[in-house]
């Protein structure tokens, strides 16, 4: 038997109840959610908006809300997430100080990459916190950087038979990423967002994660690219050195 906490937060309780309802009962409208929780429609709308923001829910073309990625079975990652977050966060903060743009740390999870740390830019127009979200690895800058660092046979095993991915084209793009040493996501995952990513390798040379710099496409300037790549590279190098010391 579980007792309700003496200082329960009703907003948190409602959000958790709503997430459970979506997972257990499937699609619902805002009015359905309000009725089930016994709250105002405006309150239900705000709760659903926050669940969508954190990938616990998503809204379909019919305006109904469905379970999001977080509530669906997800690929696991073999990366040492806690250690990477510990070592990566200070470097992300330094990267943001150097560039003025938001920085992320992602880890591979099957054919996706999962955001495990974000440090936001202080600019008014900026890319926000992505922690907990997942993106297709073949589109995200950090994902492409990780894929480019894998053996070709591993990439083939991941995508062979996947009709949504043009494998020959992906191989050509990953070859370019290997030559450059970094990957670019130019509005592939979100309109108006451009990101640059580089892989973080473990002591054995295996790609464990990636650091990405994300900015509004309106501020992306190819003349600034060498400086951004240099700053990302410095962060990646320091994380790799710290990983080697911990191993």
Task: Give the dihedral of Cα atoms 21, 25, 29, 30; nearest 10 deg.
Answer: -10
β 112-119/193-201 pair status: unpaired
Q: What is the pLDDT of residue 2?
A: 46
β 112-119/207-216 pair status: unpaired
| Residue 102 near residue 118, CB atoms below 8 Å | yes
User: Where is 102: in which H helix or E strand?
Assistant: strand 102-109
pLDDT in tens, 39-87: 999 999 999 999 999 889 999 999 999 998 888 776 778 888 989 999 9
Strand, coil or helix: 76: coil
Burial class (CB in 10 A: 0-12, 13-18, 19+), 161: exposed
Q: What is the pLDDT of residue 1?
A: 39
Q: What is the pLDDT of residue 6?
A: 60
How far apart CA 124 and CA 80 sit, in angstroms, is 33
Q: What is the pLDDT of residue 88?
A: 97
User: Where is 223: in which H helix or E strand?
Assistant: none
Instruction: Enter the DSSP assignment of 125.
Output: S
Q: What is the pLDDT of residue 232?
A: 98
pLDDT in tens, 88-106: 999 999 999 999 999 999 9
- Provide the greatest CA pair distance for the chain: 62
What is the pTM (predicted TM-score) of this model? Answer: 0.78
pLDDT: which is higher, 220 or 1: 220
Q: What is the pLDDT of residue 74?
A: 66
Instruction: Work out the pLDDT band at 173, boundaries 50, 70, 90.
Output: very high
User: 108: which 2 tokens?
Assistant: 């591979």
pLDDT in tens, 93-141: 999 999 999 999 999 999 999 999 999 999 999 999 888 788 999 999 9
| Residue 114 near residue 107, CB atoms below 8 Å | yes
pLDDT in tens, 199-215: 999 999 999 999 999 99
Instruction: Work out the pLDDT band at 5, boundaries 50, 70, 90.
Output: low
């Amino acid at each position: 038997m579980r007792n309700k906490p003496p200082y329960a937060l009703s907003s948190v309780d409602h959000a958790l109840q709503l997430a459970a309802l979506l997972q257990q009962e499937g699609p619902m409208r805002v009015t359905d959610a309000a009725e089930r929780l016994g709250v105002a429609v405006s309150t239900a709308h705000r709760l659903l908006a926050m669940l969508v923001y954190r990938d616990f829910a998503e809204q379909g073309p019919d305006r109904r809300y469905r379970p999001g990625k977080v509530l669906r079975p997800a690929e696991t990652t073999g990366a040492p997430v806690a250690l990477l977050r510990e070592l990566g966060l200070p470097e992300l903060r330094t990267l943001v100080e150097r560039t003025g743009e938001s920085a992320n740390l992602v880890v591979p999870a099957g054919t996706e990459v999962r955001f495990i740390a974000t440090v936001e830019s202080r600019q008014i127009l900026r890319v926000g916190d992505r922690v907990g979200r997942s993106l297709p690895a073949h589109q995200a800058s950090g994902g492409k950087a990780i894929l480019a660092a894998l053996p070709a046979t591993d990439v083939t095993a991941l995508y062979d038979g996947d009709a949504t991915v043009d494998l020959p084209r992906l191989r050509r793009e990953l070859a370019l990423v290997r030559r450059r040493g970094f990957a670019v996501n130019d509005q592939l995952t979100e309109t108006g967002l451009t990101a640059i990513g580089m892989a973080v390798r473990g002591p054995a040379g295996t790609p464990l994660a990636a650091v990405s710099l994300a900015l509004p496409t309106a501020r992306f300037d190819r003349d600034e690219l060498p400086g951004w790549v240099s700053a990302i590279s410095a962060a990646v190098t320091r994380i790799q050195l710290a990983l080697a010391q911990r191993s």
